[in-house]
C-alpha cells in the first residue's frame, strides 16, 4: 500500500515537471524590444558610442560579446567578434551606453549584441522550475537568446570631422 502511494506521488511529480517543461519550451517569449542606437564617435579615442535601450516589459541581459558587421550582398556578415569588459542586466525602460572599436577603413557597418530574455521566466513564476532542474543536475530553462543589431553607421570619424571643419570654415567667412 505504501509503495503504491509512493509510486503514485513520484508519477504525479514527474508528470508535473514534464508538463511544466513542455509549457516553458513551447512558450518562448516574443523578441525583446531592445534598440541599439549609434550616438557618434568619441573624438579623443575614435571609439563608437552606442546606447542600448530596453523597452520590453521584462528584464533583459546582454552578454559582453559583440560583433562588428559589414554589408554584403543581401545582408550582413560578421567582420570581427570581441568582448566588452562586462555584460549587464537591464530592467524594463533602462538604457546603457557602450563604446566599441569601429572597423578600420569601413564607411558602412553596424554593431550586433546577443540579448537574453532574462526576466521573462522569473516574471512567469518559472524560476522554481529552473532551480529544481539545477538541483537534479538538469538545465531545464535556457534563457531565450536574440541577436539585436544597430542601424547602419554610414560615416567614419574622419568624414564627420572633415564635414565639421568645412562647416566651420564656411561660417567664419
Report helix, strand or coil for 108. Answer: coil
Percent of residues, the chain, with pLDDT higher than 90 = 12
C-alpha cell at 33: 524590444
30-166 CATH, one of 3.30.390, 2.60.40, 3.90.320, 3.30.200? 2.60.40
Q: What is the pLDDT of residues 74-122, one digit of tens each?
A: 889 888 787 776 667 888 899 988 888 888 888 899 999 888 776 554 4
Is residue 6's pLDDT more than 70? Answer: yes
Q: Quick one: pLDDT band at residue 124, thresholds 50, 70, 90?
A: very low
- Give me the DSSP letters along 114-173: EEE-HHHHHHTT-HHHHHHHHHTT-------EEEEEPPPB---HHHHHHHHHHHHHHHH-
Q: Which letter does DSSP use for residue 58 in this model?
A: S
Is residue 141's pLDDT more than 80? Answer: no
pTM attached to this predicted model: 0.66
Q: What is the pLDDT of residue 155?
A: 82
Q: What is the pLDDT of residue 65?
A: 80
Is residue 137's pLDDT more than 80? Answer: no
Lowest mean pLDDT among 24-28, 46-50, 158-162: 24-28
Is residue 57's pLDDT more than 80? Answer: yes
Is residue 44's pLDDT more than 80? Answer: yes
Average pLDDT rounded to a whole number, residues 31-38: 87
Amino acid at each position: 500500500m505504501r509503495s503504491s502511494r509512493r509510486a503514485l506521488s513520484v508519477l504525479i511529480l514527474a508528470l508535473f515537471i514534464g508538463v511544466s517543461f513542455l509549457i516553458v519550451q513551447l512558450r518562448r517569449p516574443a523578441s525583446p524590444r531592445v534598440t541599439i542606437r549609434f550616438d557618434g564617435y568619441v573624438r579623443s579615442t575614435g571609439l563608437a558610442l552606442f546606447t542600448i535601450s530596453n523597452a520590453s516589459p521584462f528584464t533583459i541581459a546582454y552578454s559582453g560579446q559583440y560583433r562588428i558587421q559589414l554589408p554584403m550582398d543581401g545582408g550582413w556578415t560578421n567582420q570581427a567578434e570581441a568582448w566588452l569588459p562586462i555584460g549587464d542586466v537591464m530592467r524594463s525602460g533602462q538604457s546603457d551606453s557602450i563604446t566599441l572599436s569601429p572597423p578600420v577603413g569601413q564607411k558602412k557597418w553596424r554593431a550586433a549584441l546577443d540579448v537574453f530574455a532574462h526576466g521573462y521566466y522569473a516574471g512567469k513564476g518559472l524560476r522554481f522550475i529552473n532551480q529544481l532542474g539545477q538541483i537534479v543536475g538538469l538545465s531545464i530553462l535556457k534563457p531565450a537568446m536574440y541577436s539585436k543589431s544597430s542601424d547602419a553607421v554610414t560615416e567614419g570619424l574622419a568624414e564627420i570631422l572633415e564635414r565639421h571643419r568645412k562647416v566651420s570654415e564656411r561660417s567664419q567667412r
